[in-house]
Amino acid sequence: MNIFEINHKAMRKEKYKQELISGIKKCQRKANINMANATGIFEKTKALRPLMLRVIRSYDNIKHDPEWTDFIQVAYRKSCLWDEEIDRLCLSIELKVKEENYIKSFKKNLKKIKKMCRDTSVSYYSLLPDNIPIDVRSHCVQFISQATFPNQKLNVKY
């Protein structure tokens, strides 16, 4: 491989990263606009699902990038929060079959995001060496899995 090929490969990777960032930002803006106009649970899930699908599609490319850590943590926490919120709201509302199926598929997407985040945390845990002291290990585990506390309350506005 010559220097030109290496430079070209790095430029393609950087361009892909920029496209990924702009795509997620665009999805976030669209979701925020649609959420502002949404009134019911079905409209809210319809507004959020494209963003969650974008996160699922791009997760493998962003999970090891330190710049995306905060985004992944927020996606995990909001997935947990929305999962609980949907369960709570669906108990009190009568839905059409089509709406019910859409909400079920959205819940599957949320569960998939949560599973991917937990699996990544477990894989990072397995990378820790065996011979480090238990207090250092527990601190590392706490740091790795700081986003995996689903019952932690966030100030999220719907």
Task: Give the model confidence (pLDDT) of 75-126 as tens digits.
Answer: 888 999 999 999 898 888 888 999 999 999 999 999 999 999 888 888 877 7
Domain locations in the chain as residue ranges: 3-144
Largest CA distance in the chain: 64
The model's pTM: 0.76
pLDDT at residue 132 in the model: 80
Model pLDDT, residue 155: 45
Is the pLDDT higher at 94 or at 4? 94
What is the pLDDT confidence band of residue 5, given thresholds at 50, 70 and 90?
low
